[in-house]
Structure formats: structure tokens, C-alpha cells
Structure 1
Amino acid sequence: MVAGTGSPPQTARLQSGRRALSVCIVAYKDLTSNTRVARQAHALAARGHAVTVVSFAPPDPRLVGDRADFAATGVPKVGAALAVAVALAGSILGQAAGGPVRLAAALGGRFGQLRCQQFGLQAAKLCRGRRFDVVQAHFDKALIAAAAIREQCGGRLVFDAVELPFDRDSLPAPADQRALRLAEIAREQEIARTADQWLTVGGTLAAEITRRFRIAAPLVVRNCRQPHLAPDARIRRDLGLDGAAQLVLALNSVRAGEGVEVIVEALRHLPAHVHLAILGQGTDGAGGERLRSIAAAAGAGGRLHLPPLQPASEVIGYASGADMGIIPRQPVTDNLSLSLPNRFFEMVAAGLPLAVSRVGEIAALVDHHGIGVVFDENNPRAAAAAIAEVLDLLRQGDLKARVLAAAHQLSWDREQIAYVELIESLGQQENRRG
């Protein structure tokens, strides 16, 4: 366990006179670039609560400060022996891993596919001897670990469904791995039904979760960020752009459904002084080379830029040096259709007006706040027209003022209030029960 140097003491008391809580947030992932867990942990710790984060690797300390404790498991590794795999599948998945699924799980274990279960064992071991008032699972693959910690350490269970959970669109292709993931999903769904509260990231996703799983509406805690309203020249300097160049920024991974090919092709229809930067995962390999080829074929090879990734704590400041942002996401899966991604809030916090695709809540927020233009995400000409319109509106002055107003309205300082109140309410209920 790696402890923060200034973690709030267990005996700290809130101004209200109530006892400070002990909260565990469990995430089946490397949190180095994750900002949601970091913001939640910081918000709770700032209220005097003791917070423990269990994950593969901890969040960027610049986002959390020294107020939380971190238990880092590393990426779970599972032995190849069939006996170990069967034991893990049986003991962790329980009834969900009977018969043929248990055998499939054992076979999957030979290829390291039992990491969710192994993570659960490691997480519970790291938390042994502690007492928690609330245990929060960061998405579905953390539920098995969260349940193990709750059984051992107590606490109310919160499930943070940051996407549509238990997604069968992304099941692995091999039969044994597919069977194992289905067994995991069955167990995760059992655990989720026992949760005291669900959270999620947007209203559209909350409505679909309510409909699909027949539960009370989750509490919506959006991925709002704190405004960074002093433009930072680093990105322009890194890209070698002069004052005449106008820079459009996409905070995008290069993967299916993100629409980056459309906006690269859109450069063909834009003036030579308009440049595009794509900052995200996958731009430094084959995906980046493919985008460069598209730009070259469009006669815009010198106007596409793929800057290096930035630390999570630096993204908003770095982005603020662009003229505008663009989100070309395509609704090719349920999760993409229902999404309200981090990048929307990051670019608003950076003070950037936006051109966005027609994907549900993103487009609705842009229209509501009057901070940009919505375009057909499948049409490069439409993307180019939207970029040109936003840049033209910027010259008129009112658009920037609306973005700055939206940045304050959509700040994490405002958004965290309901989240903290929920955790405190559940924790006090647990105290009374205990």
C-alpha cells in the first residue's frame, strides 16, 4: 500500500459535527490518466473523510494531492495451472461458474483471462483489517473486488456505471474467454443488484440504465472540470504555429467510432491557415500513420498535427492554446450513442467553443449553452462547414463569452456537491447500522 503523506486521520470530524467517514474506491484499471476517480477522492478527502483508492496504479498525484491513500495491485497476473484457474473461478464467481462455464473459465485462466477475479483477491488482501463506511466500484469489472472488500471490511456499496455496464458488444471472440466473461457478467449483475446506489455520467445514460435494469434512476455525476481560463501557448509553440494559424483541437483516441478520419478529410475543404491537432491515445503508431496518409491525400499533410500525450493534470491547460475544439464521435455502439465524454468538459474548461457531432447529450449541451455548432459526423464537408462557422462566430466576440460562462456553470466545484452529499448520507446510514 502506498499512503499519501497527508491523509486525513480516521478521527477527523466534519464541521457539522458528524464523524468523518472511511471510503474505499475500487477501480479495475490503471488510474494514471483517469480524472474521475481522482476528482471524487479529492472531493471526499477535502471534506475530512479518509479515502482509499485500490487500482492497478494510482491516479496522477497532482490531481488528488496528498489527501488519499492508494493501494496499487499492479496488473493482475494469473497462473496457468488449471487447478488454480478452477479454484479462482469457483471461489470468486460462485454459482455463476458452474459446469461447462467453470471448465471454460479454467481454460481461459491459462491465457490470463481471470484477472477480474484475481484482482478481487488482491484488493481484499490489501484492505484486510480496515473498516469502510462506503465501498465504491468504478465500473462493472470492479464489482467483484468491491463485493469482496465490502464482505470483509463492511460498508454501503456504490456502483459508478461510467458507461453502459455488462456490455455484450465487446465480448471476446474465443469461446472459452467469451464464456468466462459471461460468467463474470452474471456475477457482476448479482452484485450490482445489491448496490445501495448507482451513479453514472449523464442524463441520457441514466435513463437507459433505469429502463434496461429496472432500477431507481442513478445519481448523475458528470465529468465536469475546473475552468482554466488563461490561454496557454505551449501547444502552439510545440506545433510551430504562428499567430495567423487557427488551431482546431480534437482530444481523441484513434479507434472505431471516434470519427477522426472524417475531420482529417475535412481539412481538404478548409483554408490553408486552419490546422488540426489530434491529441490522444493511438496517434503515435499505425493509427497515426493512417491519419497522416489521409491528410496527405487531401493535400493537407502539413496541417495535421499529432502532439505527444500530456499528463492528465496538464491536458486542460495545454488545450487552452487552441482556437476551438471538435468532437466527431459517431454513434456506432450503444455506449457511444449514450456517451457524455470527458473531452467535452475538458474543452469547455479550456475555454474552447465547439463543433460537435449529433450524439445525444453532447449536442444538447452545446445547443443549451450556445457554445458551438452541431454537424453531421459522417460528412467531411459538414465538419468543415461547422469549423468555419465556429471560427467566424469567434470573431464576433459573443461566442467566447458564452463558453466562459458555461465553463463556470459546468465546473467540478458545482458538480461534486451532490456526489459528496450522497456518500456522506450513505456513510452516516452505515454508522447508525453499525
Structure 2
Amino acid sequence: MTRVLHVLDHSLPMHSGYTFRTRAILKAQAAMGFEVRGVTGLRHTAGEGAVEEADGLLFHRTAGRASGFAGLREWREIGIFAQGIERAVREWRPDILHAHSPALCGQAALRVARRHGIPLVYEIRAFWEDAAVGNGTGTEGSLKYRLTRGLESHVVARADAVVTICEGLKADLVARGTDARRVTVMPNGVDLTLFGKPLPRDPELARALGFEVDGRPCPVIGFIGSFYDYEGIDVLIDAMALLAERQPDARLLLVGGGPCEAALRERAAASPAADAIRFIGRVPHHEVDRYYALADIMAYPRKRSRLTDLVTPLKPLEAMAQGKLVAASDVGGHRELVTHGTTGVLFAPDDPRACAATLAEMLEHRGRWDDYREAGLQHVRAQHDWAANAARYRDVYQMVSPVAAGNGLGVAA
């Protein structure tokens, strides 16, 4: 049976899009017959002990702390993380190392892979230099930006196989000189055992939030996710005042948190539509479905940037799996997920008026809602179900590992 050690920035029990994708990958691979574990770096901040179980999965933890000025600190972090990977390799003896971005994970794994002669698969979920620009912690073209990009290219060139989550990231790597045949696209997916059975609307919760007028349910626009600037939640807040001109009973439901939360609350309080906007804050993952059930339309107004044009988000797929209508800005990452007029609708990014007009059109044409819902759900089942998509990893592992090729592509002999 092939053993795969996943090298990770962080993992469960921490909650993030990163950890949920990791959970889905490991669970799906285990169901296919692989033995899987993870090893996390210094940025994992939850849990104790050298090895920890979370949701039935085992993770080796790397302890330590890196200090120094920028650049030197990250290099030291790579060294400490490599030591943690080394310990996990000596204890468990995996057949494949599967490192996931950022490039710090890839570089640490590369050191250990070459030392032990273990094949390395490197998976890119986003270019982290662009993510830093998007969340306000970096500047495009800065020294740190260029160093991060250079390290990523170094790891990609030396890995035995490369995986990306979308065509946008693959195209960028190919433009840098990477052979397209070395890159496999493993699209974002949904674990339909978790998201495939939507909850009914909770009328008491709806009333408590003021989502009824004269005993009638209000139309609800929802956003569930992290509050970063690139998500465009400020655009959505501004759009609500315009939407009220055509849909005066419409409400906006905002679930989540992040660095922009305080500024967004101030913006909402100053809006003419302030009474229609509800901030819920962060909620436990097991309660998210209750809030999905309140929304008619899930809105994703991402701003146009290099990050949003290249990277596909997970949330629109979760919304489709929940049977929700999807309205998203017309950026590259969304165009890979949403077929305009079929599985959802796209509107011009960075434009509150375009956002409001699209939402109003959807609310005024309820006769199409069932078609959108059905098309969205079928799209997720056909293209983004982890139980099916994870099978592509077999081909990647077979390509790099004689062990995987020799025991039925990762299934126990």
C-alpha cells in the first residue's frame, strides 16, 4: 500500500479553506486505498504533541521558531521545517512526499526528498506572493514578492510532478517555461457527503435576524467567507443601497471575519441600506449550513486582480452544492467555475451598480431559479466532487513512483 506524506502549512483542527481542501484530499485518498498522513510547519498554531489526530487523520507537528530579518527568517523556517519532515520520514517511511504551497513547504520538502530519494509532488493552490498583495501584506514587484516568486519557480523546476488547482495557475507556470505535460490540474472540489444535503430554512433564526416583513420572508443575499479586500465585500455593501431601489425588502447576510471586518462594519453603518445588512461574525463550521439555508443568492463580488484572475475560489462550489443561486464578478477565477446564464450569473467587477442590477434581475425572475439550482448542482457533481476528482492523483503518483505503479496505482495489492 502506497504511503503519501502531505507537507502542509497548517491543518485541522485549524479552520480555513486550506485545511478543508486538505481534509477532502486526504479523506478521498484514504478511501482509494492510500495510506496518508500530514506534517505541518511552524505556522500551524493549534494542537499539541509530536503527532496529533484530527477528524480521523494523523498529522506530525514541527516545533520551533524562526527569527531574523525578512528573508533570513523564512530561510531558517525552511530549515526547521525540513527537520520536522525528516523526523516524520524516518518514523513513517512514506513512498511519496506531496507538498502543498506555499513555496516554503515545497522547498523544505525538496531538501528531504532529495536526501532520501523520495519522489516529490508539489501542489500550488495560489501564488502566495499574489495572495500577500491581495490581503494587504505585500506589494507587487517588491523584493519579497520577487523572492517568493523565485523560490516557487525553483521548487516547480525540481519537483517530480506539479499540481495546480486551476487552469489559470497552470497557464502562468507554462508562461514561465514549465512544460505543460508536467502540470496536472486538480480543481477545487466539494465533499458532497458534507455539503450535498442542504438544511431547511430556520424560520426562528430568520425572524431573529429581521429577515421577514409582515410575516413574509425577505429576499436574502448572502456572503460566507473571509473578509479580505480582494473579496469585494465593500462593493456588495454599496450595491445594497442601489438594490433597495428595486427590491426594498432585500437583506444582506455577511458571515465570517477577517482583517477588513471593522472597516466593512463602518461602511455598512454609514450606508443608506444599513438596516438591511446583518453581520454574523465567525461561526463554527458545523453551523455554516444554517446560514446558507437563509440565503436565496450567494454573492461573490471579487475585485479584479492578478490573484482573482488566476485562482479559483471554493465558496461558489459550496453554494451550488447547497442548492443556492450564485452571482459572481466576472474575473478569471470565477469564469472557470460559473457558466453565465446556466450555473449562475457574472457581473462586472469593482462596480456596485452592475452588482446591484444583476441581483435585482435574479430576484425579479424567480421562474429561472430551479434551472440555476439544478444546473449548479449537476456541475458540482460532474466536475467538482472530491470522491471522483481525487482519482486523478493516482495518475500523478504512478508517474513519479514505482511503488505506486506497482501496486495498482495506489490501491492495496
CA–CA separation in structure 1 for the residues paired with 2:89 and 2:357? 54
**Kept after mapping to 1: 8 A contact 2:39/2:59:** yes
Q: Cα gap change, 1:299/1:224 in structure 2, threshold over 3 Å: closer, same or farther?
A: same
Give 1:221's aligned residue: 186
Partner SS for 1:24:
strand
Structure-2-length-normalised TM-score: 0.79
Task: Give 3-state SS (helix, strand or coil) of 1:365's partner.
Answer: coil
Q: Which one has the bigger strand percentage?
A: 2
Please name the residue that 2:163 is paired with: 199
Given candidates 13, 24, 31, the residue that maps to 1:39 is 24
Provide the rounded CA distance (Å) in 2 between the counterparts of 1:163 and 1:26.
Answer: 16
Aligned to 2:323: 351
Alignment of 1:263 onto 2:263 = no
2: CA distance between counterparts of 1:59 and 1:42?
20
Task: Describe the SS at the equivalent of 1:71.
Answer: strand
**Unpaired segments of 5 or more residues in structure 2?**
48-52, 407-413
Distance between the aligned counterparts of 1:418 and 1:369, measured in 2?
A: 29
Query: 2:392 matched to 1:404?
Result: no
In structure 2, the residue matched to 1:239 is 209
TM-score (norm 1): 0.76
Partner of 2:348: 376
Q: In 2, are the aligned partners of 1:147 and 1:191 still within 8 Å (CA)?
A: yes
Q: Within the alignment, does 1:189 sit opposite 2:157 as a pair?
A: no
Question: Which residue of structure 2 lines up, in the alignment, with residue 15 of structure 1?
Answer: none
Displacement after TM superposition at 1:198 (Å): 0.8
Contact 2:220–2:295 (CA<8 Å) still a contact in 1? yes
* CA shift for structure 1 position 306: 1.9
Question: Within 2, Cα distance between the matches of 1:294 and 1:183?
Answer: 36
- Deviation of 1:172 after TM superposition, in Å, equals 7.3
Tell me how far 1:186 sits from its aligned partner: 4.6
Identity fraction in percent: 23
**Contact (CA 8 Å) 2:129, 2:145: kept in 1 or not?**
no
2 CA distance for matches of 1:188 and 1:262? 32
Highest RCO, 1 vs 2 (Cα 8 Å, sep ≥ 6): 2
**Cα distance in structure 2, aligned partners of 1:372 and 1:114:** 46
2:359 partner amino acid: I
SS in 1 for 2:391: helix
Q: Which letter does structure 1 place at the counterpart of 2:60?
A: A
**What corresponds to 1:117 in structure 2?**
79
Name which of 252, 277, 297 aligns with 2:253. Answer: 277
Counting only pairs closer than 5 Å after superposition, residues 3-402 of structure 1 correspond to structure 2 as 20-31=1-12, 32-33=14-15, 34-56=19-41, 57=44, 65-66=55-56, 68-73=57-62, 76-78=64-66, 105=71, 108-109=72-73, 114-139=76-101, 140-164=103-127, 170=133, 186-217=150-181, 218-225=183-190, 226=192, 227-233=195-201, 236=206, 239-242=209-212, 243-270=216-243, 271-282=247-258, 287-312=260-285, 315=288, 318-332=291-305, 334-367=306-339, 370-396=342-368, 397-402=370-375
Provide closer, same or farther for how the CA distance between residues 302 and 166 of structure 1 changes in structure 2, counting only shifts above 3 A. Answer: closer
- For residues 229 and 141 of structure 1, the distance between their equivalents in structure 2, rounded to whole angstroms, comes to 37
What do residues 110-132 of structure 1 show as CA deviations (whole Å, max 9, x unaligned)?
Answer: xx884333222233234334322
Return 5+ residue gaps in structure 1 as ranges.
1-19, 86-103
CA root-mean-square deviation: 3.4
User: Which stretch shows the higher mean deviation, 142-151 or 377-386?
Assistant: 142-151
**Residues 141-179 of structure 1, C-alpha deviation per residue, up to 9 Å, x if partnerless?**
2112212332355421111011136659759779xxx86
Give how far 1:30 is off: 4.6
Q: Which amino acid aligns with 1:319?
A: Y
